[in-house]
Chain A
Amino acid sequence: MISLRGVTLTYPNGVRALDDVDLEVAKGSFVFLVGHSGTGKSTLLKLLYREMRPTSGEVTVDNIRVDRLRRSKVPALRRNIGVVFQDFKLLSHKTVWENVAFALQVTGANTKDVKRQVPRSLDLVGLSHKSRMLPSELSGGEQQRAAIARALVNNPKILLCDEPTGNLDPSNTTEIMELLQRINLKGTTVLVATHNAAVVDRMRRRVVRLEDGRVLHDDERGYYFRGLGQTQVLSG
């Protein structure tokens, strides 16, 4: 589903954000990208939805060579990828329903599809009862669920989450991670960039650790710190 081969990204100022990264993500998998701030997690996600292009190397998403993709083809790529951010990126003057519908409306969906898919998406994230509320009337966790509903309303094959629990308390964090797991069980490939060790250790999914723009290790059912659970690190 996702493939990066020899991907390097160097900024104009000479800083190397990613350095010869190889990564394969199978369809329907759930992957954590972990590492300190500035290790290239967000940059890697940006390459996947063509917010950025690599300096060298190949980026393939759903059999599309994203690094070579023409600008005019980017919208079609993005309709297959849902993206969720730490700051939710909801429109404050629109209700939850309108925020979710917005993603469909601006891609030219007809009214029938909007009326069918928005309630389905809101139902999936458990926000149907708050669809008429404005983002400011919701808790942080609810706002993130609204953002996830918007990311999913187009039925994307891939969901990219950039620090989705960065602004949330532990209880809301758990809710969001459970939701992401449910979405993954329905067949969506999920990539989560995080530095929340507790979440990673609790879920025991594939963990790819980035360090200074390189893949330091890549473990199936891994921990945030290789070989050690969060508890062990704290106690040891």
Chain B
Amino acid sequence: MDWGKLKFFLGEVGSNFTRNAAMQLTAIGTVAVTVVLLGAFLYVRDTLASFGTGMLSKIEVAVYLNDDVDDARARTIAVRFAQDRRIWGATYVPKRDGLRRMKSVLGKDFDTSLLTANPFPNAFHVRVRRPGDVPAVAASIAKYPGVAKTDYAADTVTKLLRIADLLGRVGLIMIGLLVVTAAIIIANTIRLTVFARRREIAIMQLVGATNMYIRMPFIAEGLLAGLLGAGLALGILYIARLELVPKLAATIAFVPFHANEPLLAGECLAVGATVGFVASWFSVGRYLRV
């Protein structure tokens, strides 16, 4: 490793970086705002996804059997469940248990004195392996002989998830636009640096510096702006997480606030670095003309 060469290169990057300090700060700030929004968005998305998946995984398909289906025939239906790979398990709830459950849930509010017979059918509570399979499994079970109807509560959750997905897409488009803005600002900053250093660039070209060598400090400058912006954003996000999430978790107890934080931080840094790198690469290519 030639430290002298490294020192010279870093000196070049440093002198690029400090030449347009105000513009550089604008670029870093824009990246930071973008990444803060991106990070918050990813965190909320992760939380919603795990919340939704958690809800869906608890959903059971209620399978109500015809009145004429006795325990023995119910057993043959259970065998068919076992053959379906999508089904994780099933619990048989004979009609007497159905009534008992209802009594235990509703307690005194459930007055059985008016009943002349047990109104509950024999039933199965079926759990599927993947939440997404719930509608399909319910539909195929409904066709079994002896099955009166199937029911599941997934509709509400699916709708919720669909709304979350839509909001996510809108959020992504907005973040996309912000990323483009950040890229344009970085590209302009690089353009100004290229302009400020045109004499040096001309001399570099004259003495035989390769195009890649001339480009490198500018690309490093863009990369640095992107990384610093993302780093600043991560700092802000970290403080927000420490301050806000416990309060939110206390207010909305049923939502599990959770995200893969190291992965999320990595994603934010990668976005910052990519924006800086790509913007400066194109800017240098366009304005350097080497």
Contacts and interface: CB of A to CB of B under 8 A. Distances in A.
B8 A105 contact: yes
B211 A75 contact: yes
Most B Cβ at <10 Å: residue of A74, A106, A107, A108:
A106
A111 B8 CA distance: 10
Given A89-B203, A105-B8, A106-B204, A75 B3 contact: no
Interface string A53-94: 000000000000000000110111111000100000101000
Given A75-B208, A78-B208, A114-B4, A108 B213 contact: yes
A110 B207 contact: no
A154 interface: yes
B208 A79 contact: yes
Contacts of B200: 91, 102
Contact of A75 (B2, B4, B202, B210): B210
Interface residues of B, number: 19
Contact of B206 (A83, A105, A111): A83
A103 interface: yes
Contacts, number: 58
B53 to A, nearest CB: 53
B208 A91 contact: no
A32 interface: no
A106 B209 contact: yes
A223 interface: no
Given A89-B199, A89-B203, A91-B199, A107 B208 contact: yes
24 contacts: A71-B211, A72-B211, A75-B205, A75-B210, A76-B208, A77-B208, A78-B205, A78-B206, A78-B208, A83-B206, A89-B206, A91-B199, A91-B200, A102-B203, A106-B204, A106-B214, A110-B5, A111-B2, A111-B4, A111-B5, A114-B4, A150-B207, A151-B207, A154-B208
